Structure 1
Amino acid sequence: MHVLITAVGARTEHWTDLFNSLCARPDVRLTVLASDVSPATRRELDRLGQRHANFHSQVLPHRLGEARTGHMASIMVRGGPPLSPPPDVVHIIGEAAYLSTWQVLRTRRRHWPAVPTTLYAAQNVVTRFPMPFPLLEQYAYREVDMILPITPAARQVLRVKGYRGAATDIPLGVDTTTFRPRAEAGTVRTFTVGFVGRFEPHKGVLDLLRAAELADCDVLLVGDGSLTADIERAARCRPGRIRRHHWAGHAELPDLLTQMSVLALPALEIVQRNVLPWIGIPLREQFGRVLIEAMACGVPVVGSDVGEIPYVIGDAGLVFPAGDPAALADRLIKLRACPETTRDLAAAGLHRATTEFAWDRIADRLVQIWRQLHERSMSVPIPARAGQQVRDNAGRKVVA
């Protein structure tokens, strides 16, 4: 089965582990078309091509990029010839309202009208975009065969916005061969709360620093962002208690997670104005992938009650009210005072990560969905528009 996946934006680098899991299946041939991606993504796509004979990728140029507008919805791809042979299934990593999603659906309708299409969805807030994005969104709802929301909240947003088609929840995943418990896990000498991500106000980093001070515990921060200067000032006030590490890739991150007694994600809800200044877009944590990475390493997790953090944590961690450093400090003190609770949460998190969020398991579910859609498409003729020349499911040319 030939699967075409399209993806845009710097965050595409987080999908390469899924691509690797898909390519481990000998009955899958995978083509990835990407655009406006990071240098790290380009390097990883090249490595996948060297590792797997059934993987091919191409980074397409773009007319309009995320850097100019601040939002992936505005990315427009330039070029991209039709594939030969054509795909059996198309999967779009991008929301329904994206310009790039509209481009892919238009290409599919023109060249492969019988090919089933699935679409990723992560929006967990009902957002009303300016024109023409609502029109693109409704067009996508009509064109795709199935949407794959990453959380139940994302599925509910689809229904509120008018999507009535098939939907199956498919979460984000973690590479459990890379993110796994280390022999030295649990040997952290001083109780240390960790954070991995962008040092930005909506991530709650300053709340974490205040909570760590209240709980009198050490801090390990991994990442970078606009609050770096604030973090450095806090470190000077608590010498030797706050450590900061630069951005870490997959190879480094598991070892850094192992240095944490607990990982915290104290995210806040904010209003974003990066499309048009007079249009506010509520921003809530859509998943919190670092939570499942920590769980897979056997590190207990604590998160705020914002967005999908409680859903991802489930019963495998502790949740506190967002914006309440004292409540976060209380959770940290509880874990430090009760090692048995800490061990129980670490075990529950590891089980949750490996049984519900492992990329290998998610890849199995995706292949099963795509194969069913492909088999159904082979048995159901696709009607053509008047005068349009297309090929039927047997490959014969048909003029409507």
Structure 2
Amino acid sequence: MKRPRRLVTVSHSYVVTLNRRLANEMARVGGGDWDITAVAPRFFHGDLSPLTLQREPGEPARVEDVRALFSRSLHTFVYGPELRARLSGGVDLVHSWEEPYVLAGLEVALLTPRRVPLVFCTAQNLSKRYPPPFAQVERFVVQRSAGWVAWGETVKENLLARPGYAQRPARYMPMGVDVELFRPDRAAGESLLRELGWEPSGPPVVGYLGRFVPEKGVPLLMEALERLTTPWRALFAGGGPMEGALREWGARHGDKVRVVTGVPHTGVPRVLNAMDVLCAPSQTTPKWKEQFGRMLAEGFACGLPVLGSDSGEVPHTVGDAGLVLPEARPAAWTDALAGLLESPERRRELATRGRERAVTRFAWPVVARAHLDFFSEVMERR
């Protein structure tokens, strides 16, 4: 009987249970063909607060912990000597969920045995010149790798122009979404509307989900709504430095605007189901452009019509299941919103297409299977 292929996947983000979903889904869909181990830090300084490794009973993937040193910096933290043992001993492939230009990515590449193929993943969709030693780190990791995964079509397009990347097998993979948690549930949405002091029978709700920052297009959406003559309500869910300005703007519109903050991830499906349209008006800046747009995939899964800008990865995420609009033209957003708010039939059509796209393209089992298929191809090339 052939033994399962042993895959070790390493990521500092695995300190949080939710972020191990890819590893756990690969273990599920891999069945008896793959044995999956997720290597995670025992402790990591997160963006908002320190994080201690979370474990859940019954996880399909094996979770092994290691130390993470200097974890206040994503660029310079390292795992330490324990990692070597986790990457040896019958391992068939190592998957590094660390950018190839950071020291942790270099560490994984150095400690992976030479006979074992290494595949890293990256979300870098901007053309950058890294200072020493990070430029040298990237070059080494790319040369050492047997393949790489791009978290976006624009990521892949960007990196194929960099030295070494085109000489390695590459595959675009989207981020996954839980299509059982994120699903159409109008009753849940209507209960939230009532909690917010709105009647479900009122005007359609234009929704926004994400950070309250200019680069996410909050000012553009506010301007587009200002121009609307069609009856509307607006629900902004998220948080960030523009919260005060957003609340002041909302107050000028009386009962038409609600701003909700502090929503846990498990509460996001209920928020999405309270909306009639979801907007993602992301804006490209010299230092940032949208890398995926998780809220788009989650909105599709909840059966929402989606409007996204033409910034970064958004057009690839939306595909033909939603509307892609110019990122710098508020009038175009006003016209598109008016067309959707005035046509329940058009909203239903887009909702159906969006849900189908979520199930066939972004569902976690689909994404996990795509990873395993790519890993198999990489191994067969060696």
Q: TM-score range by the shorter chain?
A: 0.7 to 0.9
Work out whether residues 13 and 19 of structure 2, in 8 Å CA contact, stay in contact via their aligned partners in 1: no
Work out whether residues 185 and 298 of structure 1, in 8 Å CA contact, stay in contact via their aligned partners in 2: no
User: SS at 1:363's partner residue?
Assistant: helix
Aligned twin of 1:344? 349
Aligned twin of 2:96? 92
Closer, same or farther in 2 for the Cα pair 1:369/1:320, shift >3 Å? Answer: closer
Question: Aligned-pair distance for 1:80?
Answer: 2.7
Unmatched runs of 5 consecutive residues or more in structure 2: 191-199
TM-score normalized by the length of structure 1: 0.82
Aligned twin of 2:175? 172
Counterpart selection for 1:46 from 48, 51, 55: 55
Give, in whole Å, the separation in 2 of the partners of 1:198 and 1:156: 26
User: SS at 2:324's partner residue?
Assistant: strand
Question: Aligned-pair distance for 1:151?
Answer: 2.4
Work out whether residues 17 and 175 of structure 1, in 8 Å CA contact, stay in contact via their aligned partners in 2: no
Aligned twin of 1:394? none
Give, in whole Å, the separation in 2 of the partners of 1:57 and 1:330: 52
Aligned twin of 2:194? none
Question: Aligned-pair distance for 1:363?
Answer: 0.8
Give, in whole Å, the separation in 2 of the partners of 1:185 and 1:352: 22
Work out whether residues 209 and 219 of structure 1, in 8 Å CA contact, stay in contact via their aligned partners in 2: no
Work out whether residues 176 and 367 of structure 2, in 8 Å CA contact, stay in contact via their aligned partners in 1: yes
Aligned twin of 1:138? 139
Give, in whole Å, the separation in 1 of the partners of 2:187 and 2:15: 31
Give, in whole Å, the separation in 1 of the partners of 2:324 and 2:300: 15
Query: Please, what is the CA RMSD of the aligned residues?
Result: 2.6
Give, in whole Å, the separation in 1 of the partners of 2:316 and 2:126: 15
Counterpart selection for 1:211 from 224, 229, 233: 224
Question: Aligned-pair distance for 1:365?
Answer: 1.8
Aligned twin of 1:26? 31
Question: Aligned-pair distance for 1:98?
Answer: 1.6
Question: Aligned-pair distance for 1:240?
Answer: 2.2
Give, in whole Å, the separation in 1 of the partners of 2:232 and 2:188: 18
User: SS at 2:124's partner residue?
Assistant: coil
Question: Aligned-pair distance for 1:366?
Answer: 1.4
What code does the residue aligned with 2:20 have?
T
Give, in whole Å, the separation in 2 of the partners of 1:19 and 1:42: 19
Closer, same or farther in 2 for the Cα pair 1:238/1:43, shift >3 Å? Answer: farther
Q: Give a deviation string over 1:206-255, Cα, whole Å, max 9, x none.
A: 22122223225211111111111111211221222221222333321111
Give, in whole Å, the separation in 2 of the partners of 1:309 and 1:12: 26
Aligned twin of 2:115? 114
Work out whether residues 204 and 323 of structure 1, in 8 Å CA contact, stay in contact via their aligned partners in 2: no
Are residue 202 (structure 1) and residue 218 (structure 2) matched?
no
TM-score normalized by the length of structure 2: 0.85
What code does the residue aligned with 2:8 have?
L
Closer, same or farther in 2 for the Cα pair 1:133/1:210, shift >3 Å? Answer: same
Question: Aligned-pair distance for 1:96?
Answer: 1.7
Closer, same or farther in 2 for the Cα pair 1:262/1:123, shift >3 Å? Answer: same
Are residue 307 (structure 1) and residue 316 (structure 2) matched?
no
What code does the residue aligned with 1:290 have?
M
Give, in whole Å, the separation in 2 of the partners of 1:131 and 1:6: 24
Aligned twin of 1:77? 79
Give, in whole Å, the separation in 1 of the partners of 2:52 and 2:13: 15
Are residue 265 (structure 1) and residue 280 (structure 2) matched?
yes
What code does the residue aligned with 2:69 have?
H
Question: Aligned-pair distance for 1:293?
Answer: 0.6
User: SS at 2:327's partner residue?
Assistant: coil
Unmatched runs of 5 consecutive residues or more in structure 1: 67-71, 272-281, 378-400
What code does the residue aligned with 1:46 have?
R
Question: Aligned-pair distance for 1:26?
Answer: 3.4
The residue correspondences of 1:205-354 to structure 2 (distance < 5 A) are 205-215=218-228, 216-271=231-286, 282-354=287-359
Work out whether residues 153 and 313 of structure 2, in 8 Å CA contact, stay in contact via their aligned partners in 1: no
Closer, same or farther in 2 for the Cα pair 1:29/1:356, shift >3 Å? Answer: same
